[in-house]
Amino acid sequence: MYKDGHRGVALLLMVPLTGLFGIVGFGMTILAVAVCRFPDLDHDYGWLPHRGLTHTFWFAAGAGAVTTAGLYVGLIGLPVEIPAWPLALLAGTTVFLGIVSHLIADALTVGRGDRAIRPFQPLSPEQLRFGLIRSNSRIWNGALLIGGIGAQILALGLFYRPF
């Protein structure tokens, strides 16, 4: 899947949180979209197989945990009183969801062999593949992005009440 498709799936996955938490949920959405392509860092390193370790739930959980711990340590060191633990946990959960959105997007694509993801490896070799769209389809990638943007706008407009 191309970057627009990944961003679109992240936007769609985060719609319930935008609707539930309003502006805070939309902020979570922005973070999820920012990290949704993180699993594809395996393209930059020859020793990492594509759709391997970085395309697992363990990687998503680890990235979320590192985000939570790192942000918590950073926030408690500030000279102002802020709710460090809830903010750090919210950010870590959002990073987890952003990476999971990448796994969902890749599972939507048609692929065989190394094109499928194995989100629970090494514990399970089972592949996750829905095989609904071609990863190189500009129409599908664009439709996912436009659909995600539209759904976010609707979530903010229909469900969010500032007062």
pLDDT per residue over 29-46, tens digit each? 999 999 999 999 988 888
Q: Kindly report the average pLDDT of the chain as a whole number.
A: 92
Q: Which residues are within 8 A (CB) of 14 and not within 5 positions of it... i.e. 6 or more apart? A: 25, 28, 29, 32, 33, 97, 101, 152
Short-list 19, 27, 13, 10, CA closest to 154: 19
What DSSP designation does 124 have? -
- Note down the domain range covering 17: 3-159
Among 20-24, 28-32, 68-72, 91-95, the range scoring the smallest mean pLDDT is 20-24
**Contact in structure between 18 and 97 (CB atoms under 8 Å):** no
- Which amino acid is present at 144? L
pLDDT per residue over 57-67, tens digit each? 999 999 999 99
Question: How many structural domains compose the chain?
Answer: 1
This prediction has a pTM of 0.91
10 Å CB burial of residue 94 (0-12, 13-18, 19+) is buried
- Which amino acid is present at 102? H
